Amino acid sequence: MSITLTGIEFRPMTIPENIDAADAADFRAMADVRNAIYRHVSGHDDHAMTAAALLPHYRPDEYERRMSWLVLERGRPVGRLGLDLPIESASVVAFLLVELLPEVWGHGIGTGGLDLLEAVARANGRSILQSWTEHPDRPGPRLEPPTGFGSVPADDPAARFLTRHGFTLEQIERCSALDLRASGDDVQRLLAAARDAAEGYRVVQWVGPTPPEYVDGYAWMKSRMVTDAPSAAMQFDEERWDAARVALHDDRYLQADQLVQVTAAQHIGTGELCAFNELVIGVDRTLASHQEDTLVLREHRGHRLGMLVKCAGLLTWREVAPESPRVITFNAEENRPMLDINEAIGFAPISYEGAWKKVLSDGG
């Protein structure tokens, strides 16, 4: 479905076979406008991705239905819409994004796009809409989530837009950065202390496809991300992870020319993997790295395994991606144990994101 307002089109996006295909122009335009929007909001390019790197993550699979629209103003790309629908049984959740270049804010385009996303979500049986957005700091009144941790500026354009359209702020996520050009002495010291506290555990690591002997353990830990990580009142379906899903996960990063390093803690007595940390970098190894999932399974907490896998991973990463200047990571602002680890290592906050939720009424 293509909806057109006065001079505005929300054009459903075709996912091309490759980035040079005849039907890939809209996808390339989407990547460009995405990066321009993120640059405006954050003031840097650490979240930029090429169209080629994005493409594998947009290909359809059996776990999630991803729909995207390119927003055009008189034929010029000015934004994008996205709606992700988990395919878990009886799911009522949808994840959405409405992203526009600042020069077209305030013209009703965002409202029109959100109306479209809500209609599609309803048509697919979804009643809970959720979204994350960065909120640059500014003086003035603040919005606080029910968690009591963190806040965002109430006058931020994205906060005003979401509040006006019935979303509630549920959680704050802190974005932090670690300077990889600084000395690693503190990380070495913290790793030594963590090893002493983690008696009965050892570190295992891999880069690229998951080795067969770790697939089952890695799949189990990935499935626990939605149940064990702090999520406030945001709603997530329990995810089913198995060897096939791990293989798909690994293959997408390989197709995108992204390098992934996994550092895990293994219980020596049982061989169980019980904590892990992921570090990722794109094809340009001189750009920022991103710390993806990090988790210590609940039943193994209290042994400093979070510090163990983070420090071991960062020290190895300096050899894997020696030209990367920094690592970017996100954590729930109420996740004090993980923030304590990050701060001790040297991560410093650079921005904050709001996690927003809207429950759709039966009548519209």
Instruction: Say if residues 133 and 353 touch (Cβ distance below 8 Å).
Output: yes
pTM above 0.85, yes or no: yes
**Positive or negative torsion for Cα 80, 114, 165, 357:** negative
Residue that the structure tokens 């979804």 belong to: 126
Residue intervals in the chain for CATH 3.40.630.30: 3-175+354-359, 177-351
- Supply the pLDDT for residue 363: 57
Residue that the structure tokens 């939605």 belong to: 226
User: What number does CATH give the domain 3-175+354-359?
Assistant: 3.40.630.30
Q: How far apart are CA 149 and CA 4, in angstroms?
A: 41
Residue 124's nearest CA partner among 164, 83, 158, 161 is 83
- Supply the pLDDT for residue 164: 98
Query: In this structure, what token pair is assigned to residue 146?
Result: 């029910």
**Burial, 42: exposed, middle or buried (Cβ in 10 Å; 0-12, 13-18, 19+)?**
middle
Residue that the structure tokens 């499935």 belong to: 223
* Per-residue pLDDT tens listing for the chain (364 residues): 555 578 999 999 999 999 999 999 999 999 999 999 999 999 999 999 999 999 999 999 999 999 999 999 999 999 999 999 999 889 999 999 999 999 999 999 999 999 999 999 999 999 999 999 999 999 999 999 999 999 999 999 999 999 999 999 999 999 999 999 999 999 999 999 999 999 999 999 999 999 999 999 999 999 999 988 899 999 999 999 999 999 999 999 999 999 999 999 999 999 999 999 999 999 999 999 999 999 999 999 999 999 999 999 999 999 999 999 999 999 999 999 999 999 999 999 999 999 999 999 875 5
- Phi and psi of 280, rounded to 5°? -135, 145
User: What number does CATH give the domain 177-351?
Assistant: 3.40.630.30
- Phi and psi of 39, rounded to 5°? -65, -40
Instruction: Say if residues 306 and 221 touch (Cβ distance below 8 Å).
Output: no
